[in-house]
């Protein structure tokens, strides 16, 4: 167990991070992600309020769907938080911030913090839906980025076809009192409990950003390669002017994947070198259990393209690697590789 965003969270269960990671890639893993916040915004003005505050355009979806979006700093367009919006009902939105950002997201969008009322369980992996079929079949039928209110043994849960692993699955907001029983039922059906360690290696292989690393102060959606979360057709949103200025100039750096030749991983803060010159910084790095080599994410100049050879300075040792297209691992790539 470890402190994380004001919560005590499991880093790993007895079988260890590697086993948990592989269970998610080949079978089904179960994560307790209750540290994610839930800010509930309701009423006739809820849609307009969220449209003004967040980057993405909720008009692209509708009730019963989820959307990934950003809350920006109005001064420089950097990402205050990246979050999901679950559009549960016509006038009800459950906004899901990162653990440490719930209070400032609530200040920006209003609403009520209902985090303490529920747990969030994530069932992820190619066998996630078959596992759910024997425990909570209605949840297993919720499609990708769909949102449904469903009953489990007399308890109303909100289930969304979302996740943070690069695998199929769902995330379920379950009333606190019912969560242990649902957890035990899923483990009994074959789900492997997995902690934050596996969640980090899985999201890294999937090329997904982590707030405080690939997103945060001084980092904009355009730099992180997430321009698709910006609804430029909206009349306005918080931070738009600053982001438009960067779009006109072009971002000064871009997020890339880096794959090393050996098993030793890069680490956050390590320098990235091209032709012996420092050109960027690693934001996240780890050993990839799927690829069995070191991988990382880094910010480098825009003209340093995928395929370029680089070196990572790891405490004085230069590790050779190359910039690669993200994600490192995806469901399609696993099929192509016969995994």
Q: Are residues 68 and 124 in the same domain?
A: yes
pLDDT higher than threshold 70 for residue 263: yes
Would you call 22 exposed, middle or buried from its count of C-beta atoms within 10 A (0-12, 13-18, 19+)? middle
Give per-residue pLDDT as tens, 270-283.
999 999 999 999 99
Task: Return d(Cα 268, Cα 165) in angstroms, integer.
Answer: 20
Where does the chain have alpha helices with state H?
17-26, 46-53, 102-109, 128-133, 137-140, 179-188, 196-205, 240-249, 331-336
Residue ending a domain, choose from 143, 171, 205: 205
The residue range of the domain holding 183 is 2-205
Considering the domain architecture, whether residues 172 and 296 belong to the same structural domain is answered as: no
Same domain for 81 and 191, yes or no, is yes
Higher pLDDT, 330 or 122: 122
Radius of gyration of the chain (CA): 20
Query: Are both 35 and 100 inside the same structural domain?
Result: yes
Residue 237, classed as helix, strand or coil, is coil
The yes-or-no verdict on residue 320 having pLDDT over 90 is yes
Strand, helix or coil for residue 26? helix
Q: Is residue 221 part of a domain?
A: no
Closest by CA to 286, choosing from 312, 305, 304, 309, is 312
On whether both 198 and 284 belong to a single domain, the answer is no
Rounded to two decimals, what is the model's pTM? Answer: 0.96
According to DSSP, the β-strands at 192-194 and 29-32 are parallel
Q: pLDDT at residue 336 above 50?
A: no
Residues 196 and 262 in one domain: no
Does residue 332 carry a pLDDT above 70? no
Banded pLDDT at 8 (limits 50, 70, 90): very high
**Mean pLDDT across the chain:** 96
Give the E-state strand segments of the chain in sequence order.
Answer: 2-4, 7-9, 29-32, 39-42, 65-72, 79-89, 92-96, 112-113, 118-124, 147-152, 155-160, 169-175, 192-194, 254-260, 271-274, 277-288, 293-300, 309-314, 317-324
Confidence of residue 339 (pLDDT cuts 50, 70, 90): very low
Give CA–CA dist 279/272, Å, rounded. 6
Measured in residues, the chain has a length of 339
Dihedral in degrees, nearest 10, Cα atoms 271, 256, 299, 233: 180
Contact 268, 284 (CB under 8 A): yes
Structural domain includes residue 298: yes
pLDDT score of 5 = 84
How confident is the model over 63-112, as pLDDT tens digits? 999 999 999 999 999 999 999 999 999 999 999 999 899 999 999 999 99
190 CB burial (10 A radius; 0-12, 13-18, 19+) = middle
- Domains: count for the chain: 2
**Same domain? 194 vs 55:** yes
Q: Which residue has the higher pLDDT, 337 or 220?
A: 220
Give residues with Cβ within 8 angstroms of 249, minimum separation 6: none
- Please list the residues that pair with 118 across neighbouring strands: 175
- 179 & 35 share domain: yes
pLDDT of residue 9: 93
In this predicted structure, what is the pLDDT of residue 338?
43
Question: For position 330, what pLDDT does the model report?
Answer: 87
Q: Are residues 166 and 258 in the same domain?
A: no
User: Is 237 within a domain?
Assistant: no
Predicted confidence (pLDDT) at residue 237 exceeds the cutoff of 90: yes
Could you give the percent of the chain with pLDDT greater than 90? 96
Rounded Cα–Cα distance for residues 166 and 125 (Å): 8
User: Which tokens in the block code for residue 11?
Assistant: 């880093």
How far from chain centre, in Å, is Cα 6? Answer: 18
- In terms of domains, do 168 and 74 share one? yes
Write out pLDDT tens, residues 245-262. 999 999 999 999 999 999
**pLDDT tens for residues 9-63?**
999 999 999 999 999 999 999 999 999 999 999 999 999 999 999 999 999 999 9
In-domain check, residue 324: yes
As a whole number of angstroms, the distance between CA 127 and CA 190 comes to 9
CA distances from 122 to 15, 28, 30, 157, 191 (A): 18, 10, 6, 13, 10
SS (H, E, C) 30-64: EEECCCCCCEEEECCCHHHHHHHHECCCHHHCCCC
Query: Of all residues in the chain, what percent carry a pLDDT higher than 70?
Result: 97
Task: Write the CATH number for 280.
Answer: 2.40.30.110
- What is the CATH number for 99? 3.30.1360.120
């Amino acid at each position: 167990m470890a402190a994380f965003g004001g919560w005590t969270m499991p880093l790993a269960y007895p079988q260890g991070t590697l086993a948990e990671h592989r269970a998610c890639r080949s079978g089904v893993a179960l994560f307790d992600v209750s540290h994610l916040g839930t800010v509930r915004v309701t009423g006739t003005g809820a849609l307009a309020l969220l449209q003004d505050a967040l980057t993405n355009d909720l008009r692209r979806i509708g009730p019963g769907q989820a959307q990934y979006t950003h809350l920006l700093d109005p001064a420089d367009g950097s990402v205050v938080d990246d979050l999901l919006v679950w559009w549960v009902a016509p006038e009800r939105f459950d906004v899901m911030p990162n653990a440490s950002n719930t209070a400032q997201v609530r200040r920006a969008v209003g609403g009520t913090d209902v985090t303490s009322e529920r747990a969030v369980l994530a069932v992820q992996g190619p066998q996630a839906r078959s596992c759910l079929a024997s425990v909570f079949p209605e949840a297993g039928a919720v499609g990708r980025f769909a949102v449904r209110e469903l009953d489990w043994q007399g308890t109303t849960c909100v289930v969304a076809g979302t996740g943070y692993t690069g695998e199929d699955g769902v995330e379920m907001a379950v009333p606190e009192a019912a969560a242990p029983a649902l957890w035990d039922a899923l483990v009994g059906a074959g789900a492997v409990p997995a902690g934050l360690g596996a969640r980090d290696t899985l999201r890294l292989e999937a090329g997904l950003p982590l707030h405080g690393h690939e997103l945060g102060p001084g980092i904009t959606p355009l730099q992180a390669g997430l321009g698709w979360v910006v609804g430029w057709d909206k009349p306005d949103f918080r931070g738009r002017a600053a982001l438009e200025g960067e779009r006109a100039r072009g971002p000064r750096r871009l997020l890339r994947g880096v794959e090393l030749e050996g098993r030793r991983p890069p680490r956050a803060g390590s320098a990235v070198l091209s032709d012996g010159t420092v050109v960027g910084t690693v934001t996240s790095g780890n050993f990839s259990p799927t690829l069995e080599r070191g991988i990382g994410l880094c910010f480098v100049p825009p003209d340093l393209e995928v395929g370029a050879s680089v070196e990572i300075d790891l405490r004085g040792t230069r590790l050779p690697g190359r910039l690669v297209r993200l994600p490192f691992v995806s469901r399609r790539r696993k099929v192509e590789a016969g995994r």
